[in-house]
Structures are given as structure tokens and as C-alpha cells.
Amino acid sequence: MSIRRMEPADHEALLELWRSFPGNAVTGADGREGFTAFLERNGDFCFVLEEQEKVLGSVMAAHDGRRGYIYHLAVDARRHGRGFGRALMERAEGALAAAGIEKAHLFIFSDNPAVGFYERTGWLLRRDIKVMSKVLAGSDPLLGTRPEPED
């Protein structure tokens, strides 16, 4: 197993991985165009786990200059419990820290069984904030379609 930088050519394999387990949402932002744009801006913080050129894990990270954000940490279910998720997360966290980012956030559905994994790797479940979202363009399968402005 090796960890390498994520590339645009990984897109299809990653979609297959992300869709392979419950608790992970794939949205319009994960289409090829959005994925490629994300990597152009944040490629130094995005990694894949592979074995013999087969993608078996991923983590995407980014920052806004102040805070880091983690997206799509995923490891093939047959390889859970072997430290691969932890290794991917450490790689992303290390890249963010090297860029001067002191704190990172991740968003996770409250019923996602991976909450325990994140807690074991040092992440704290916040109970003092709520997340609000708004569709700005197009639609999101979780939030619906952006309403048309009223006159």
C-alpha cells in the first residue's frame, strides 16, 4: 500500500469508493468539473491510498488561509481496521499544518458510524455549533433546488 497525491484521473475510482459505503454523500460538487477545480486549488492536501494502481482510500483537504477542512476520508471496507484511514488523515493534517493551518474542521452526518474513528484520532465532536447550508447554484440532493428569487 502506498499513499500518493490525488490526480484528476482518479475521479471515477473515487466516485465508486465514495458510493460504496453508507454515511458518505456524493453531491454535484463531486462531478468531474468540480473535482478537477478542487484539485487545482487544493491538490497539495488531497491523497489516495492505492495498491497495485488500484485506489483503495482517499482524503481531500483544503483551507481558506485560516482553517482547514477535511472531505471524503474513505477506505475500502475490506481494509478497515488496518490503520489506513489514520495514515491518510495524518497525511492531510500534516500538509495543512505545513501550510500554517492551526485548526481544521470536518462535517459528518450525525448517524455516520465513522464518528468513533474521528474521536479516536483526536477529533472533537462539537456540541456548541450548528451548520447551515444554502444552495447557491443548481441543486443538491440533500438540500434540494435553489429557489427562484421572488419579484
The ranges assigned to domains in the chain are 2-145
CATH fourth-level superfamily of 2-145 = Gcn5-related N-acetyltransferase (GNAT) (3.40.630.30)
Share of residues in the chain with pLDDT > 70 (%):
90
Task: Render pLDDT for 50-59 as a digit per residue (tens, 0 to 9).
Answer: 999 899 999 9
Task: Render pLDDT for 2-26 as a digit per residue (tens, 0 to 9).
Answer: 999 999 999 999 999 999 877 677 8
- C-alpha distance from residue 13 to each of 6, 10, 70, 116 (Å): 11, 6, 19, 26
- Looking up cell 458510493, which residue turns up? 19
pLDDT of residue 28: 79
110-137 average pLDDT score? 86
Task: Render pLDDT for 84-113 as a digit per residue (tens, 0 to 9).
Answer: 999 999 999 999 999 999 999 998 888 888
Confirm if 58 and 74 have CB atoms less than 8 A apart. yes
Poorest-pLDDT segment among 31-45, 92-106, 131-145: 131-145
pLDDT of residue 139: 59
Contact partners, residue 46, CB within 8 Å, separation at least 6: 5, 6, 38, 39, 58, 59, 60, 61, 92
Q: Is the pLDDT confidence value at 147 over 70?
A: no
Q: Is the pLDDT confidence value at 144 over 60?
A: no
Higher per-residue pLDDT: 124 or 145: 124
- C-alpha distance from residue 42 to each of 45, 62, 70, 96, 113 (Å): 6, 5, 11, 10, 27
Longest dimension (CA), the chain: 57
Share of residues in the chain with pLDDT > 90 (%):
62
